[in-house]
């Protein structure tokens, strides 16, 4: 199991290239199931989750080929030969559930393992299943698997989500693209990754109105054709490295970053004392003077993203004053707190809220990573801490952050991976 060692206290300075968005790339890859023609995706991040998704699609019959040697352009195509998504893949990556809608829409059946819970919560998929049932699918749960089938085509329906689930929105949008008739999806998630998926589906011939809003109207078509689509930059990677620049008191240019996707993150960081300036090729981020505590509550887009909660909490742990951080999306997303407190942070959790009282400095320590965003928050803490930090179980990190130690080392961080 690899670990990452950091000797903190060095201000970051330099440029970091922001990669394609993981949470756009994963649903976009499942869109390859929706057409017998080739879907080409560009700006694909090099992540463990992308490889896992490629393996999942390959066992469905969809070959995922490198168009360029660097693996950042993928060509997906093939005939669906297997409609089962097995437990041993799904348990490793919950986004596997996103093959359900496309398989049902293309071939009328799917047998997908229930993803099960994960470190941050139970993460049910009931909204995905209820929506597909409204579109005429028969759904049975047996032996830990979802057995879904439909006679003929899925049919359009009006579906109102009780809350803006990202995955449910994506599964139902892809299913509706090939359904018979009109589907209205109301109260859907509006994350930029969903807009990116919708834009790609339209390029493939889908008929979607309301893109970027919380109400999508889809006129189903008989078939979708191939397309080439460039994936948007990763706004969570952008926010993460913005926090790295701020917490080390450095100055970093985030190349290809898009400020317009950062909404509440940019507003909150600026209020906390972080300078973010748009430049021709990205975003210049540095700490103006001191950092001070600003309360935050995670919410669906355009609110403050839950995927930035842990990273922001680290920034607040060394800010002037105090900040209340409230997590409204997942029920167990504070596992970074005990590890940060071992590094000298002063964070108290009360239910869904954590009060963070700023300290003058964190101190390095061996810490344990538990999930993707908690892992990177410990890296951020190590960058700022006095002394040495060793983050263990970094396989979580590799799922969502490409070459994190190389990107940080190139900006002056004393960071290296220890392979055990």
Which spans of this chain sit near ligand EPZ (rule: CB under 6 A)? 23, 26, 94-95, 121, 123-128, 165-168, 189, 306-307, 329-330, 372-373, 400
Beta bridge partners of 15: 253
The residue sitting closest to ligand EPZ, measured at its beta carbon, is 167
Nearer to ligand EPZ, 112 or 168 (CB): 168
Question: What sign does the dihedral 99-232-135-64 (CA atoms) show?
Answer: negative
- Residues 20 and 53: their CA atoms lie apart, in Å, by 15
- Residues 250 and 412: their CA atoms lie apart, in Å, by 10
Kindly state the smallest distance separating residue 377's Cβ from ligand EPZ, in Å. 11
Nearer to ligand EPZ, 124 or 212 (CB): 124
Nearer to ligand EPZ, 234 or 405 (CB): 234
118 is catalytic: yes
Residue 346: name the closest of 271, 182, 337, 13 by CA: 337
Kindly state the smallest distance separating residue 1's Cβ from ligand EPZ, in Å. 20
Kindly state the smallest distance separating residue 22's Cβ from ligand EPZ, in Å. 6
Is the preceding peptide bond at 138 cis, omega within 30 degrees of 0?
no
Residue linked to tokens 């078939």 = 223
Kindly state the smallest distance separating residue 155's Cβ from ligand EPZ, in Å. 21
Q: Which of 118, 200, 243, 411 is catalytic?
A: 118
HSE, CB side, 13 Å, CA atoms: give it for residue 29. Answer: 31
HSE, CB side, 13 Å, CA atoms: give it for residue 40. Answer: 7
Kindly state the smallest distance separating residue 165's Cβ from ligand EPZ, in Å. 3
Three-state secondary structure call for residue 235: helix
Nearer to ligand EPZ, 94 or 393 (CB): 94
Taking a C-beta distance cutoff of 8 angstroms, is the pair 377, 310 a contact? yes
Residue 362: name the closest of 416, 417, 312, 315 by CA: 315
Q: Which two tokens stand for residue 9?
A: 């206290």
Nearer to ligand EPZ, 243 or 385 (CB): 243
Catalytic residues: 118
């Amino acid at each position: 199991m690899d670990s990452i060692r950091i000797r903190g206290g060095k201000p970051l300075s330099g440029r970091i290239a922001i990669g394609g968005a993981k949470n756009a790339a994963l649903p976009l890859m499942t869109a390859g199931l929706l057409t017998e023609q080739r879907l080409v995706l560009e700006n694909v991040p090099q992540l463990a989750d992308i490889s896992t998704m490629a393996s999942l699609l390959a066992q469905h019959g969809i070959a995922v080929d490198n168009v360029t040697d660097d693996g950042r352009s993928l060509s997906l195509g093939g005939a669906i030969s297997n409609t089962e998504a097995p437990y041993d893949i799904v348990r490793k990556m919950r986004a596997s559930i996103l093959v359900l809608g496309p398989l049902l829409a293309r071939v009328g059946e799917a047998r997908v393992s229930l993803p099960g819970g994960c470190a941050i919560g139970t993460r049910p998929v009931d909204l995905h299943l209820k929506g597909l049932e409204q579109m005429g699918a028969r759904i049975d749960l047996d032996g830990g698997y979802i057995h879904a089938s439909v006679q003929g085509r899925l049919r359009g329906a009006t579906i109102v989500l009780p809350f803006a689930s990202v995955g449910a929105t994506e599964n139902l949008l892809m299913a509706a693209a090939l359904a018979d008739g009109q589907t209205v999806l109301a109260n859907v998630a509006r994350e930029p990754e969903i807009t990116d998926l919708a834009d790609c589906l339209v390029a493939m011939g889908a008929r979607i109105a309301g893109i970027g809003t919380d109400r999508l109207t889809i006129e189903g078509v008989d078939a979708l054709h191939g397309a080439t689509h460039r994936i948007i930059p990763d706004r969570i990677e952008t926010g993460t490295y913005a926090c790295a620049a701020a917490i080390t008191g450095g100055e970093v240019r985030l190349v290809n970053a898009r400020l317009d996707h950062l909404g509440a993150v940019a507003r909150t960081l600026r209020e906390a004392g972080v300078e973010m300036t748009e430049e021709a090729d990205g975003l210049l981020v540095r700490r103006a003077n001191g950092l001070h505590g600003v309360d935050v509550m995670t919410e669906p887009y355009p609110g403050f993203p839950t995927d930035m909660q842990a990273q922001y909490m680290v920034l607040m742990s060394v800010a002037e004053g105090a900040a209340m951080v409230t997590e409204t999306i997942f029920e167990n997303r504070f596992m970074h707190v005990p590890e940060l407190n071992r590094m000298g942070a002063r964070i108290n959790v009360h239910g869904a809220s954590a009060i963070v009282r700023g300290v003058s400095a964190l101190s390095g320590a061996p810490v344990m990573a538990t999930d993707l965003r908690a892992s990177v928050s410990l890296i951020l803490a190590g960058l700022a801490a006095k002394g040495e930090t060793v983050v263990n179980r970094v396989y979580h990190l590799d799922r969502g952050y490409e070459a994190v130690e190389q990107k940080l080392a190139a900006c002056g961080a004393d960071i290296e991976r220890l392979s055990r």
